[in-house]
Amino acid sequence: MRKATPARTIVWLCLLLLGPPAGAEERNHDATSTHSFEDVDHWTAVFDDPERDDYQKPDQLVAALGLTPGMHVADLGAGTGYLSGRLSAAVGPGGSVLAIDAEPALVGHLRKRAEAEGLDNVTPVLASLDSPRIPPGSVDLVLILDTYHHIGDRVTYARALRSALRPGGRIAIIDWQKRELPVGPKPPHKLARAHVVAEMREAGYELADEPDLLPYQYFLVFRPES
């Protein structure tokens, strides 16, 4: 008489043959893309490519953020400072922009760029991989442009961001649609819109706005749940 196959063996065989359940990978909070940003010349050519404006629509993007003079903004994952000048102009001399990145070489570039462009209200900040180094209660908006998928343990990270927000503060996440696109990373390195919304809800935020503006990216604005 044959011995019965253990149930967990059957489950393992099903996973081997059929793959994990639909959406299983979406429950992972790890970064989907980790690579070096040390080569400033390379990333300047990528991030500041004039053709990027065609799909990133930087002027319309900043306008859609609803910034007003005197506001304080954190550009989390500022990279080469693609938006620094526009954010600086939107908040004016009475406001401030924290241009934050975890790559020391890029932060050095951000400092040189701010000085060269006379952006006196832009302060480059060197973050760590698990902390953006934003002072508590200091910003009206955290902008996370094409960076959310690089963050590890995103739910914990987003919970920690809440302390950086001033009353009425918001977090805007703009990232790549999870499909084949003519620009951006490959689909395995992207996060679906629904995944981002679910993680932010888990972290204690609600979706407050979703501007229909960009052809290749979702644009999600969150507020802390009351």
Which amino acid appears at position 178 of this protein? K
Structure-token pair, residue 156: 């914990």
How many Cα atoms within 13 Å fall on the side-chain side of residue 205? Answer: 30
Q: Confirm if 140 and 75 have CB atoms less than 8 A apart.
A: no
List, in order of start, the domains of the chain with CATH numbers: 28-224 (3.40.50.150)
Determine the pLDDT at residue 189: 87
Phi, psi angles (nearest 5°) of residue 114: -60, -40
Determine the pLDDT at residue 37: 66
Determine the pLDDT at residue 48: 77
Q: Confirm if 170 and 200 have CB atoms less than 8 A apart.
A: no
pLDDT in tens, 28-40: 665 454 555 667 6
Determine the pLDDT at residue 153: 92
Question: 3-state SS of the chain?
Answer: CCCCCCHHHHHHHHHHHHCCCCCHHHHCCCCCCCCCCCCHHHHHHHHCCCCHHHHHCHHHHHHHCCCCCCCEEEEECCCCCCCHHHHHHHHCCCCEEEEEECCHHHHHHHHHHHHHCCCCCEEEEECECCECCCCCCCEEEEEEECCHHHCCCHHHHHHHHHHHEEEEEEEEEEEECCCCCCCCCCHHHCCCHHHHHHHHHHCCEEEEECCCCCCCEEEEEEEECC
Ranges in the chain, pLDDT < 50:
1-26, 31, 33
CA distance linking residue 103 with residue 108, whole number of Å: 9
CA distance linking residue 11 with residue 85, whole number of Å: 55
- For CA atoms 160, 31, 145, 217, the dihedral sign is negative
Structure-token pair, residue 210: 């979703």
Determine the pLDDT at residue 28: 66
CA distance linking residue 118 with residue 7, whole number of Å: 67
Determine the pLDDT at residue 155: 96
